[in-house]
Amino acid sequence: MKPKQPDLRLWPWIAFVALAGLAVLALGASQPTSEELSLLLMLMVLGALAERYAVGLFDSHVSVGVVAVLAAAVVGGTWGVALVAPPIVLAGDLGSDSAWYKRLYNVATYLLAGAAFAGVFQAFGHRARPDDWPEVLAPALLGALANFAINSVLVAAAIALSARQPLLAAWRQRYQWLLPQYLVVGLAAMALATAYHVLGLWGLAVFAAPVAGIRHAFFLGAKAVTARLGFDQERARAA
């Protein structure tokens, strides 16, 4: 079945976000390094697997693949994000009938949100080292907030434009509840990077259970929000 084309008003916004994402990709590609390459490649694989089990949320989804992107930002900065984020997003859409422009938009969103985390994290300089606990908590949490803000607002903006709904209303209805979860995601990414520094690649295995727990929290939250929005829509139609 041919994918539905977006509203004409969405094309300029899609183009703007795609170009911004391309700029992040180019910036990251201009800063390649072989340091921690094995970890980045492993994060790419694990993030892609996580994205295959994303939790549906209306016309979008939430996934613990973001943990891999943030961990890549911790160890590789913008280069890590540029290397890891696109394959993770594309793996989630593999075999689906998702339209090409949605894939492009999602890749750009992951790149921009990941770069926001990397930028905030690196702004703390020497206090942003994975093995410097608890000093590293501040950059991890603030970076997670920046990632959440960019990610949720960009997705909500596309929904708002498509549904002709106020942006704030679209964001509150669908994504506001994710804020606490994203703080946990930021801490998980930081802890994962710390475990790698201590245990090597075996450190990634330590976080299989916590990441699975985050996914379950995503699932329960998405289920509750979907049910609530459906109830609100039914009540509005009955009024």
Read off the pLDDT of residues 54-68 as tens digits, 9 standing for 90 and up. Answer: 655 556 666 777 888
Q: Model confidence over 161-171: pLDDT tens digits?
A: 888 889 999 89
pLDDT attached to residue 237: 44
Q: Average of pLDDT values for 28-48?
A: 86
The pairs formed by 210-219 with CB atoms below 8 angstroms and a separation of 24 or more are 211/50, 211/64, 211/67, 212/64, 214/64, 214/67, 214/181, 214/184, 214/185, 214/188, 215/50, 215/53, 215/55, 215/63, 215/64, 217/181, 217/184, 218/55, 218/62, 218/63, 218/64, 218/178, 218/181, 219/55
The residue with greater pLDDT, 103 or 6, is 103
pLDDT attached to residue 1: 45
pLDDT attached to residue 238: 42
pLDDT at residue 5 greater than cutoff 80? no
pLDDT attached to residue 111: 97
Query: Could you tell me the CA-to-CA distances from 106 to 30, 110, 158, 195, 212 in Å, in that order?
Result: 22, 6, 11, 29, 23
pLDDT attached to residue 137: 86
The model's confidence at residue 143, banded by pLDDT at 50, 70 and 90, is very high
Q: Model confidence over 198-219: pLDDT tens digits?
A: 767 766 666 665 665 666 565 5
pLDDT at residue 156 greater than cutoff 70? yes
* Mean pLDDT over the full length of the chain: 80
Structure tokens at 58: 């209306």
> Could you tell me where the DSSP H helices lie in the chain?
10-29, 37-52, 65-92, 100-123, 137-163, 167-174, 179-199, 202-206, 208-238
pTM: 0.84
pLDDT attached to residue 226: 66
Q: Model confidence over 72-118: pLDDT tens digits?
A: 999 899 999 999 999 998 987 776 777 888 899 999 999 999 999 99
Domain residues of the chain, as ranges? 10-238
